[in-house]
Structure 1
């Protein structure tokens, strides 16, 4: 994967799934920003994919 491909995939995921996410919005209202962020990192499948793409981006930058 090249850098631009990874960045494009990250951007697509964020626009498609994260912008306007009902779960994130409700958690932010009821539990705060930290709780919503923790959910996205630990429990959300989109968050898992974003973490994977971030690791791929780090690999590309290290080369």
Structure 2
């Protein structure tokens, strides 16, 4: 898979699942931006998928 295709796949995942994510919005309001960001990266299944796809860029 080319770099361009990988970036397109990442963009599609983010646009589909992350743009209007209610969990992210809730955690930002209740705990702050850092906690919400940490949750998305470490605990969210979509975040795990993004990390998996992102490894192809290395």
TM bin, normalised by shorter chain, reads over 0.9
Higher Cα radius of gyration: 1
Runs of 4+ that moved beyond 4 A: none
Other-structure match for 1:13:
13
- Deviation (angstroms), 1:54: 1.2
| Counterpart mapping for 1:16-35 below 5 A | 16-35=16-35
How many residues align? The count is 58
How well do the aligned residues superpose, as a CA RMSD in angstroms? 0.6
Could you list the runs of 5+ residues in structure 1 that have no partner in the other structure? 59-63
Other-structure match for 2:40:
40
Report the TM-score, using the length of structure 2 for normalisation. 0.95
